[in-house]
Structure formats: C-alpha cells, structure tokens
Chains A and B, each alone.
Chain A
Amino acid sequence: MVGKMKAVVGVLKDTFSFNDLPLSERIAFAAFLVFVFFFPWIVHTSYPRVVMIRFLLFAMYGLGWNLIGGYGGQVDLGQAKNVGFGAFATALMITWWGVPFWITVPVGITVAVVESFAVAYPMFRLRGHYFAIATLCVALVWQKLFLFWDWTGGARGVELPIKSAPNFTYMQFGTIGYHYFIFALFMAEFLFMNWFRKSKMSYELQAVRDNEDAAASLGINVTWTKVKTYLITAAMGAVGGSFYAVYHLYIDPRCVMQLDLSILIAMTAMVGGAGSIWGPILGAAILIPLDMYLGALLGGMGFYGIDFIIYALIIMVIAAREPRGIWGIIERARRRGYVLRG
C-alpha cells in the first residue's frame, strides 16, 4: 500500500517537476504559459485568437508525433489517420446518438490504438524510407476507405449539430472558450510528455533509436518499445482529432485525413527540433502563424501562389541550413555561450 502510494507520488512528482531543466528554459516556458493564458485578453481581434488555437492544436499534434518521430527516431508520415479516427469517432457519435463529448474521446483513442496495434508489428519490420512510405500508404488507405464508406458520410462529411454556446456536454464555445479548452488539452499532453521524458520508457526508446543492437543486448525489447510509443502517439493524435471535430463542427475525410496534415504535423516537430520537448512548440510557433498570415494577407491578392512560394522558401532554408531545427540553433548558441564564458 505504502509502496503504491510512493509510486504514485513519484509519478506525480515527475509529471509536475521541471527541476532538471535549466533555469532559463523554465523561465521562458513560464513566460510562454502566462502569455498564452492571458492571450485572449491581450489581443482583442478574432484572427490572432484563431491562429493561436491552431497553434496550440498543432503544438499538441507535434508533441504527440515527437514521441515516435523525435524520441523514437521513426519517421511516421501517417499521423493524419489517427486525427481522423478521433474526429470521426466524436463527430459520428455526437450526430448519431448525442453522446457527450467526453465519452467519445476514449472511443476515438481506442479506435486509433487498436488500429495502430494491428499495423504496428508488420510496420516496424521496416526501416528508413520503407517505414515512412508505409505509414503514408496506410494513412491514405484509411482516407480512401472513409471516403468510400457510406456510414462515415463519405465525401459529404459530417456536420455536427450546433448547440447554443457555451455547452459543456458537447464542448461548444465562443473563440475564447475554445482557447482555454485547447490550452487545457495542450497542458495535459505537455505534462504527460514531461513525465515521459524522464521515464524508463523514454531512455529505452532513445537507446533503441541510437543503436538497436546495443539496446537489444541490454535486454530491451526493441519492437515492443517502438510499438508502445507508436500507440501513445496514435492516442494523442486522436485527442487532437476529437477537438478538431467539435471546434470546426464539420469534418470530412479530405480535411482530417489528408496527406498534407500528416506532413505538416511531422514538419512542426522537425522545424522546431525533433527529440526535444520544446521542439514541437517552437516549430508550431513558427510554421502556423507563418502559414496562416501569409495565406490571409497574400492569398487573395491575385498573385497566384505567392504565399506558398515564401512559405516553401522558408521551409527549404530551415531544412538546408539547420537540419536539427530551431532547437539546434539554440543549442549551438548555448555551447558558444559556454565557450565564451570559459
């Protein structure tokens, strides 16, 4: 009994403690949290709030992807399928039976986890590009099936019934309400990641990433470690999908399960710096506002594609100049700082 209590306390401590991080990072993150928390009261226009919600959503997607892609080093380009499972579980159960949102979320997670488990073992026999293309292909097969089936609404999609806001059963709010809703989800996922980072599983996973043979010789079950991580990533994608469904109130397989979404999710983690807890947040903080503002400011000007050209140039420059992402730049600057002081 006491042992159990101790274990729980240990987990809680790991979840909420950031003591192992440098002070500067803790200060920066606290500043970031305060900023996001008060954001709707600092900025009174709608679009920045919308961009903020999208940023938090993608930071969340990115944190989930970072598990398998960053800590696990497996390039998974199929996260959109999990987003789709979550979104469809929520949307369909709400429209068919009026099930409260919070009951649909575990269902979405279950679907995503079960499906991922089914494909995980064959998938993890593959390496490198074979794995990346396989994840892409599986996600696209699901998209095609969801478009094909009638019970998912096919290409017609699913429209959720509009309730008078705010409604906590179906989670429908104004923009500010959604802001805090996604912020809470983001925080939950972030705290989980904080725990995960320090867990035994994380060290096993990184050992597997760095050298599978060495990890196996240490008695780590290589495949099971990867599969576990893959399942957690799937669950996190599904939560994001459920939010997407009640936020936009309209989904179809083209918007929640598309290839571009999978790539954008992986890209947020990559641009920020995969394998670091801050990476996905930094990446989303750069890519999402960039994309949304370029689209809104330049997209309607009549110069076709000028917004995409600028966006693509920035991606290319980051990928070419700093393949380890923004976090790579920060770490390099840090090292230089040590050298200067030394």
Chain B
Amino acid sequence: MFSKTRSLLVVGFLVCAVTLIGVAPLAQAGSPKEIKIGVLFPLSGGLASTGALIRQGAELAADIVNDKWPNLDIPMAKWEGIPSLGGAKIKLIVMDHRSDPARGADLAKRLIEDEKVVGIMGCYNSSVTKSVSTVCERYGVPMINSNSTSPLLTRRGYNWFWRTTPDNITFTVDLFKFLEGLVEGKVRGVGKIPREELDDLAIAGEETEYGTTGAELLKEMAPEYGCRVVKYILYAHESPDLTSESQAMQAANPDCVLFIPYVSDVILYMRTFRSLRFSPHIIWGQDAGTVQPDFARVLGKDANGVITRTVFIPEVAIKVKPIAAQINNVYKERTGEDLSGTSARAFTGIQAWAYVLDKAGSTEPKAIQKACNEIYISPDDIIMLWGGINFGSTTPDEKGQNVLGMGMIGQWQWKDGKNVLEAVYPFDYATADMIYPFPEWE
C-alpha cells in the first residue's frame, strides 16, 4: 500500500508549504547608529495616491534629520542624526496596510517584534489607526499618529498613543468660527454677509470611521452656532454614481455644503454639481479629499472657490514662516508639487519622532513614553503655524493629543492656469481676498 512517490509528495507539500511561513526575515543586526521607525500607510487600493503623499512627506523629514542641510534654517537640519543618541540616523520602514485594520495590526507586530522598531507612525485611515494602536498598547510600544483626525482616537485612555495633528473637533470649531467671521465681516475681501445666507448646512460624510464621526460632529455642533442642518447624508465611497445624493442636496437648497470626503468621491461630487449647475454659497471640505494636490490638478478650474480645512498652506509659509517655505522648496524640487496638509502633517509626525527621541536620549520604550508626555517643541522649529507640539489634553477624558495644534482654512483659487491654495482663516493670516460666494458654473 505504501507508495514512495505519494508519501514524498504529500509530506513534501504539506510540510514545505507550511515551512514557507517559517522563513523568518533575515535578522538584521542593525548598527547602534540606526533607529528604526515603522511607518504604516495605505499604498494600494483607492487610497494609494494619498499614501504616496504621506510617504514623501515622511521621507523628507527623515532625510532632513539624517543629513546635513546647510541651506535650511530649521534647527533639525543641522543635527545629522539624533544628537542625544550620538548622531544615530532615523530609518523608516514603510509598509502598506491596504486600508485593512487586520493587516495593519499584523504588520505592526512584524514591525515591533521582527524589525525591532522603537515606535510606529501611521496610519491615515482612522480605523486602521485604531487597530494598530491597540497592538502598540498591548506591546507597550510608542505610536505617534500624524494624519488621523477622528476625535475618538485620543479618548481611549491609551498610554502609548500620541497625536500631533489637531482632531476634527478643532477643525469643526474653526469652520463655525470662520462662518461667524463671515457674518461679522472679518474675512478679507468680503463684506458682512447676512447670517441667513450661511446658516443652512448640507453635510455629506464618507461612510467610514473618519467620515461618520466627522459628519456627526458637524451635526451636533451646528445648533450651537445658530446653523441648521437641512440635509445629512452618509454615502458609500464604492458608489459608482452620486447624482441622486447631489440632487437631494440641491433640493434642500443649502447655503453651505460640507464634505467629509476622500479624494475620488469629492471629485465625483464636484463634477456632478457642475452638471447640475448647483452652486451653494460655500463648498467646504474636511481636509482629506479636498486638500490634496490631486484634487486641484484633476478638477482644474472647477476647483476654483472650494474651501478646505488644512494645516499647511504654502502661501502662508512663504509670507510668515521662512523655514516652512524652505522645506516646501526642497519638497517641490523632489516631487514637483507643493507640500499639502497631508504631506506636511506626515513631515511633522516624523519630526515629532525625532524630537522625542532626542529628548528621551534612549530607545527604551519607557524613556520615550516619558519624553512624549513631557515634550515641548517650539513653534520656531516646526513648519506648521501651530503653537508648537505638546501632548496633553483639552478635556479630562483625552490623552496624548497635541494641545498646541491649530487648524487653517484655505481656498482654492484659479490663477494663471493653475490652482493656488490661499489662506482665508485664521483671519490674520489671510493671503488673498476670499472668493464669495462660490462662483456660478459657466
């Protein structure tokens, strides 16, 4: 009965195939002069282009820390590695989580135990940030988040999670303050606008963690600022057509349309609005989709007048923050595009890592945790207009949130054949007259 071929084959297949799992990655000895940081982003699927931006921002920051940059005035350009760690270089280990929380968690384990990273940065999608931060919490490994803005993330009492970017609450308050500013006539280039022209809101949120929480926040806060929500939509990004959603908004006749979108869906919305000749007074986007260079480049003239919340505006950088303008130039040389809210936040996330490591003077998790909780990065060191970086809490249930962050509102303006993002809020930093109302479609 016993067949040699058969047994060989069966044993061979079963065992060999499974042994494939056992092929451990080549253990890298890793010189002490190198500090690894695991970076998790979506680099495939619908968010691949966003992941590319984040990657570019993060890599630029690492290069500026590691190499000598005599022409840059930002302090860390003189470091050539982390000073308190004997000039150790930062090495980013980038991985693609494919927008899947489970894969993100698995890769985080790989980064922590196999690659021996000192910490993790990521993950853009708020849902993946959740699962990855859970892994970090269990392993006791620090994680700094630069791009996820769901307010829930810093409200879970985690001891190993810090976030540099302001969250959606800050941005939502900014929006309403901006609308009040319009009523009070504080916005550059626009007179006082009657409140009736601005108080009917239509909210359209993308059906993910980020979009849902963002939309709910807007809905909750609107009455506090005397606004009414006339249409509230959550839509699926896998929907091939958004005509009926746009028609429903048009029928509700809102003054402001507020999006919490990713990039491809907001492009589709704008094109549909154009075909419906639907132009509300204000079209505002909650960062992710509307802030990206792709959005402006793809829509061209149609993006003219769209308002977006952001944290970085090149025009402001040129005027008030020389170091930011320098960094922007380096970035532009590399990629051909200006820094955007997305890439600038990734840059700042890695920068925060560098400062935390420098303050900790060690790669021990406990030391890094202590450094994170105590760190203060001065506003002169960063490219943002923030008051610096200091992790604390704005409310008692919050933990690890950068309390010095600040949001901005920019407007895409079509000038000489290209879109320029001009600042309109904070009012003191306005770089151009605001276009109000949103221009009628031709």
Chain A residues proximal to chain B, CB less than 8 Å: 22-25, 27-29, 31-32, 35-36, 39, 42-48, 50-52, 54-55, 144, 147, 154-157, 159, 162, 165, 175, 244, 248-252, 254-255, 278, 281-282, 285-286, 288-290, 292-293, 295-297, 299-300, 302, 304-305, 307-308, 326, 330, 333-334, 336-338, 340-341
B43 touching A304 by the CB < 8 A rule? yes
State the CA gap A297–B107 with chains docked (Å).
Answer: 11
Using Cβ atoms and an 8 Å threshold, which residues of chain B touch A144?
A: 236
Tell yes or no: B276 within 8 A of A by CB: no
Using Cβ atoms and an 8 Å threshold, which residues of chain B touch A48?
A: 21-24
State the CA gap A22–B7 with chains docked (Å).
Answer: 9
Tell yes or no: B427 within 8 A of A by CB: no
Instruction: Given A254-B127, A333-B9, decide whether A296 and B15 contact each other with a Cβ distance below 8 A.
Output: no
Sample of 5 further A-B pairs with CB below 8 A, known A46-B110, A48-B22: A29-B14, A42-B22, A248-B102, A293-B20, A337-B6
Q: Pick from A51, A250, A255: contact of B21, CB below 8 A.
A: A51
Tell yes or no: B101 within 8 A of A by CB: yes
Distance from B6 Cβ to chain A, minimum over Cβ atoms (Å): 5
Using Cβ atoms and an 8 Å threshold, which residues of chain B touch A334?
A: 3, 5-6, 9
Tell yes or no: B304 within 8 A of A by CB: no
Instruction: Given A55-B18, A330-B13, A333-B9, decide whether A255 and B102 contact each other with a Cβ distance below 8 A.
Output: yes
A300 touching B96 by the CB < 8 A rule? yes
Tell yes or no: B120 within 8 A of A by CB: no
Using Cβ atoms and an 8 Å threshold, which residues of chain A touch B7?
A: 23-24, 27-28
Using Cβ atoms and an 8 Å threshold, which residues of chain A touch B236?
A: 144, 147
B112 touching A159 by the CB < 8 A rule? no
B112 touching A24 by the CB < 8 A rule? no
A35 touching B95 by the CB < 8 A rule? no
State the CA gap A296–B213 with chains docked (Å).
Answer: 30
Q: Pick from B9, B19, B138: contact of A330, CB below 8 A.
A: B9
Distance from B40 Cβ to chain A, minimum over Cβ atoms (Å): 9
Smallest CB-CB A-B distances: 5 pairs = A46-B113, A24-B7, A299-B96, A337-B5, A47-B110
Instruction: Given A47-B109, A330-B9, decide whether A300 and B93 contact each other with a Cβ distance below 8 A.
Output: yes
Q: Pick from B6, B43, B138: contact of A22, CB below 8 A.
A: B6
Tell yes or no: B105 within 8 A of A by CB: yes
> What are the interface flags for B51-93 relative to A under an 8 Å C-beta threshold, 1 for contact and 0 otherwise?
0100100000000000000000000000000000000000001
Q: Pick from B10, B100, B103, B208: contact of A28, CB below 8 A.
A: B10
Cβ-closest chain A residue relative to B211: A155
Secondary structure dominating the interface of B: helix
B101 touching A250 by the CB < 8 A rule? yes
Instruction: Given A22-B3, A55-B21, A337-B3, decide whether A31 and B11 contact each other with a Cβ distance below 8 A.
Output: yes
> What are the interface flags for B352-367 relative to A under an 8 Å C-beta threshold, 1 for contact and 0 otherwise?
0000000000000000
B101 touching A32 by the CB < 8 A rule? no
State the CA gap A28–B156 with chains docked (Å).
Answer: 47
Q: Pick from A22, A35, A162: contact of B18, CB below 8 A.
A: A35
Instruction: Given A22-B3, A52-B21, A289-B21, decide whether A31 and B101 contact each other with a Cβ distance below 8 A.
Output: no
Distance from A301 Cβ to chain B, minimum over Cβ atoms (Å): 8
Q: Pick from B23, B24, B134, B208: contact of A254, CB below 8 A.
A: B208
Tell yes or no: B299 within 8 A of A by CB: no
Q: Pick from A45, A52, A286, A330: contact of B10, CB below 8 A.
A: A330
Using Cβ atoms and an 8 Å threshold, which residues of chain B touch A156?
A: 152, 209, 212-213
Distance from A61 Cβ to chain B, minimum over Cβ atoms (Å): 13
Using Cβ atoms and an 8 Å threshold, which residues of chain A touch B13?
A: 28, 282, 326, 330
B13, B22, B43: residue with the most chain A Cβ atoms closer than 10 Å: B13
